[in-house]
């Protein structure tokens, strides 16, 4: 497994707060599908297999049905416009947003520059997603500036996230949608040698790691334009990212059973 210095805090230091804690200021949940009840923003649903997002010390944690969890730097989920990334959008999957920032449920710009993730949205035709997308598109310059300032606050150990401030986002995907290294290089007008140099200089991968990445053949390295274009192509094709089947070779971290992370039957967040 490839190793990149993006590590969570030690488990012993984790303190989780119940949903009614002041630390958790707003929560939105909805189901992808035709269930009108599940699409009500005031309903917080926690059925088995829900996709959970937790913001903890600058990292976002995903959890799939097997109980496997992994950390991701916030910008990897945000993308260049803080919207468009799909998390667990199989038709039967719940999508849960946990906002640990003070303020309204979809406040994107806060006084605290360290709060990178206020909301995660998808391109699904859901009122929340549409509202956020309109707001983000209109506020793109401010958001870009916020991300640049925010990245300056990340500790040195989160080197991958710091490098993403330069505009390089990476993710690994297999299953319903993926882009090979060769395909990506061709789309961006890069030779394989140029792409290898990009991975080495801006993402910080060693030659050995780059070789392993190429063997995965599912690398998507996205600049701001590339991210939006890929999401648009995916939406037009009617596909989705099924995060339950994602492989994060660079970011994988096993937290054991979901109950251990989530504290039993409750969705929990950590005080920022």
Tens digit of each residue's pLDDT (9 = 90 or more) over 19-67? 333 332 222 222 222 233 333 333 332 222 222 232 222 223 333 333 3
State the pLDDT confidence band at 68, using cuts at 50, 70 and 90: very low
What mean pLDDT comes out for the span 85-99? 28
Tens digit of each residue's pLDDT (9 = 90 or more) over 131-143? 334 443 444 444 3
What whole-number distance in Å separates Cα of residue 76 and Cα of residue 45?
Answer: 25
The pLDDT assigned to 208 comes to: 56
The pLDDT assigned to 196 comes to: 65
Of the listed ranges 37-46, 143-152, 245-254, the one predicted with least confidence? 245-254
CB 2 within 8 A of CB 213: yes
What whole-number distance in Å separates Cα of residue 187 and Cα of residue 184?
Answer: 5
User: 173 pLDDT exceeds 50?
Assistant: no
CB 64 within 8 A of CB 244: yes
The pLDDT assigned to 24 comes to: 28
More confident residue, 172 or 147: 147
Q: With CA atoms as reference, report the closest residue to 249 among 222, 209, 221.
A: 209
User: 240 pLDDT exceeds 60?
Assistant: no
Of the listed ranges 67-76, 128-137, 249-258, the one predicted with least confidence? 249-258
User: 192 pLDDT exceeds 60?
Assistant: yes
> For the whole model, what pTM was predicted?
0.20
pLDDT-above-70 percentage for the chain: 0
What mean pLDDT comes out for the span 117-142? 36
Mean per-residue pLDDT of the chain: 33
């Amino acid at each position: 497994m490839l190793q990149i210095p993006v590590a969570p805090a030690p488990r012993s230091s984790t303190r989780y707060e119940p949903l009614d804690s002041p630390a958790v200021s707003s929560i939105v949940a909805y189901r992808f599908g035709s269930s009108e009840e599940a699409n009500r923003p005031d309903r917080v649903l926690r059925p088995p297999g829900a996709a959970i997002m937790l913001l903890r010390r600058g990292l976002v944690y995903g959890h799939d049905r097997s109980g496997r969890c992994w950390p991701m730097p916030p910008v990897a989920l945000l993308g260049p416009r803080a919207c468009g990334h799909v998390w667990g959008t199989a038709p039967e999957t719940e999508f849960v947003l946990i906002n640990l920032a003070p303020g309204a449920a979809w406040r994107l710009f806060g006084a605290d520059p360290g709060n990178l993730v206020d909301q995660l949205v998808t391109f699904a035709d859901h009122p929340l997603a549409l509202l956020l997308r309109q707001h983000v598109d209109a506020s793109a310059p401010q958001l870009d500036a916020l991300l640049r300032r925010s990245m300056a606050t990340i500790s040195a150990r989160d080197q991958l996230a710091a490098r993403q401030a330069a505009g390089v986002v990476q993710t690994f995907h297999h299953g319903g949608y993926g882009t090979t290294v060769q395909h990506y290089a061709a789309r961006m007008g890069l030779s394989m040698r140029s792409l290898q140099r990009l991975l080495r200089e801006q993402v910080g991968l060693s030659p050995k790691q780059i070789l392993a990445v190429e063997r995965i053949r599912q690398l998507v390295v996205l600049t701001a334009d590339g991210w939006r274009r890929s999401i648009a192509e995916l939406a037009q094709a009617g596909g989705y990212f099924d995060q339950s089947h994602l492989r994060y070779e660079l970011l994988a971290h096993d937290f054991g059973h979901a109950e251990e992370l989530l504290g039993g039957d409750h969705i929990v967040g950590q005080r920022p």
